A = this chain, B = another copy of it.
């Protein structure tokens, strides 16, 4: 999932995209279903996490796609709530996996309530979306297609998350595997936002899946840019080099090792250093190294290729405009200005 905490400074204003009259209804659905009929500890914890907000980016994408495709808002809000909840579930579990102690400026669920309950809260928000789908007013014939798409892509999200963690434990990673991980952990939920409205607008499911894959590509492009921004960001984005400090595999590192395989051992050393032992000099060293090897430029080209792929995969109308809005919102490219 996009590590949006690292990308604040990179998001240009795109006010039309960030608002939608149905968003409050989506948030209400998310809360109602997560809380359930009885007050309980887990309901409170889920409410607390959902109360931290977030931009509801995936819900907005769903609502925008539904508008463009002429899908009823009544159906779209259920799909939007389901996708957004899965996203939040992955955040809660991610925070345990990464040991992150804050999210959206508040303590993470595991930090506040312990790992065990955070697993439960994540599990709840993985399951509730299916309850939401069963309660929506989808036509019976469409429900199977919608369920199939939803289940397939959420399974792929988990696979991607796991694959990325495998990469960290193993320096024998390669570009294809890295992309596969990004396509899973970030791409699938972005694709799902539009796949639901496409199926609801009676586009053939296979075609819906193909079009949606354009949004997978946007997710991949975003993650590659995010890796670049982490090291070369403009002022105002906080400390640079957090990926290196945290020992994360990044697109920069992969591109660099393609060019300088002899650096593998030095790379392994920096990745295995504890966070606080990585110095500003270490970060500056790799900044220069990635620039000199051409890794930075290669990653920029690489990300641009995925944006291009998104543009060519999504047909001109009516969803091309959404590709442009999402790309702009994610700080990828102002496609409108470029063309």
Write out, one digit per residue, whether chain A residues 17-52 have a CB within 8 A of any chain B CB (1) or not (0): 000000000000000000010001111010000000
How far apart are A279's CB and chain B's nearest CB, in angstroms?
Answer: 27
Q: Does A155 contact B (CB under 8 A)?
A: yes
A117, A140, A159 pick with most chain B CB within 10 angstroms: A159
Which A residues, 211 to 250, have Cβ-Cβ distances below 8 Å to chain B? none
Q: Does A163 contact B (CB under 8 A)?
A: yes
> What is the total number of copies of this protein in its complex?
2
Instruction: Given A131-B152, A133-B151, output 11 extra A-B contacts at Cβ < 8 Å.
Output: A40-B162, A41-B166, A42-B158, A42-B159, A115-B115, A126-B127, A127-B151, A130-B147, A130-B154, A131-B148, A143-B144
Taking a contact as CB atoms under 8 Å apart, the answer to whether B126 and A126 are in contact is yes
Cβ–Cβ contact B127 & A158, under 8 A: yes
Chief secondary structure at chain A's binding surface:
helix
A97 CB–B CB distance under 8 Å: yes
Chain B, residue nearest A136 (CB): B144
Tell me whether A123 and B41 are in contact (CB under 8 A): no
A116 CB-CB contact with B under 8 Å: yes
Q: Say yes or no: A148 contacts B162, CB within 8 Å.
A: no
Decide yes or no: A134 and B119 within 8 Å by CB, A36-B159, A40-B163, A144-B140 being known contacts: no
Give the Cβ gap from A34 to chain B, nearest Cβ, in Å.
9
- A319: interface (CB < 8 Å): no
The verdict on A135 contacting chain B, using a C-beta distance below 8 Å, is yes
The residue on B at minimum CB distance from A92 is: B119
What 3 A-B pairs come out closest when comparing CB atoms?
A: A42-B162, A134-B148, A130-B151
Q: Report the bound CA distance from A237 to B97 in whole Å.
A: 36
Q: Evaluate contact between A159 and B40: CB separation under 8 angstroms.
A: yes
Task: Kindly state whether residue A93 has any CB partner on chain B within 8 Å.
Answer: yes
